Amino acid sequence: MSEYIINFKWDDDASVWIATSDDVPGLILESGSFDALIERVRYAVPDLLEMSGITRTNVPLHILSERYERAYV
Which domains does the chain possess?
4-66 (3.30.2390.10)
- Give residue-wise pLDDT tens across range 13-50: 999 999 999 999 999 999 999 999 999 999 999 999 99
Instruction: Judge whether residue 1 has pLDDT over 70.
Output: no
Give the per-residue pLDDT at 56: 76
Q: What angle do CA 67, 27, 58 make, to 5 degrees?
A: 100
Structure confidence at residue 55 as a pLDDT band (50, 70, 90): confident
Confidence of residue 69 (pLDDT cuts 50, 70, 90): confident
Which pTM value belongs to this model?
Answer: 0.87
Q: Are 18 and 6 in contact (CB under 8 A)?
A: no
